[in-house]
Amino acid sequence: MAASVTYTLVPATWRADAGVMTCPVYRVQIAWESDDAADPAPGTVPAGTAVSAFTISGFLCKVTWVPDGVATPTNLYDTTIADVLGADILATCPGSNCLAAGAHFRQPRALNAAGADYVGYAPVLLYNTTLNLEVLNAGNAKKGSIYLDIVPSSTR
């Protein structure tokens, strides 16, 4: 079976403090399944398999990886999500070495002057872009989902 990717845009609400302040947050769910052994690139979701049919603008605040409970990916699989220009939006929120056991999340981080260590929280700006997922080293016919929590750049 060939690799597949489905992008779903889900409006949600985030509450800062017991209903005192709310801010809209959009969640993008990216459900994926890797190629099986009969396909040209087994164990992967090649870049360009499917690009989101919608565009996104806002600040990427949190990324959550959720492996499938039955067709569990190989431990330490890798993911990248490219924007319309081909830049990996997960560059400061590393998508490599994803865990196969249970959901886990990461927040985008700021790099220090040397560009290596992560220091502090820094959302990634997405501007009028589509999304293009690539998964490597997941194993044949494995599944998972990635959730992107995005605060709109304008709430007007």
CA distance 139 to 133: 16
Q: What is the pLDDT of residues 13-61, one digit of tens each?
A: 655 555 555 667 888 899 999 888 777 777 788 887 888 888 888 888 8
Longest dimension (CA), the chain: 54
Under 8 Å CB-to-CB from 11, ≥6 apart: which residues? 24, 26, 27
Residue 95 identity (one-letter amino acid): G
Q: What is the pLDDT of residues 104-145, one digit of tens each?
A: 777 776 665 555 555 566 778 888 999 898 898 888 999 999
Structural domain includes residue 133: yes
Whether 82 shows a pLDDT value over 60: the answer reads: yes
Q: Residue 156 — pLDDT band, cuts 50, 70, 90? A: very low
More confident site: 90 or 147: 147
Structural domain includes residue 32: yes
Structural domain includes residue 56: yes
Residue 31 confidence (pLDDT): 92
Residue-number span of the structural domain to which 69 is assigned: 4-17+24-151
Structural domain includes residue 61: yes
CA angle 74, 75, 78 (to 5 degrees): 85
Domain total for the chain?
A: 1
SS3 of the chain:
CCCEEEEEEEEEEEECCCCCCEEEEEEEEEEEECCCCCCCCCCCECCCCCECCCCEEEEEEEEEEEECCCCCCCCCEEEEEECCCCCECCCCCCCCCECCCCCEEECCEEECCCCCCEEEECCEEEEEECCEEEEECCCCCCEEEEEEEEECCCCC
**Which CATH number covers residue 138?**
2.60.120
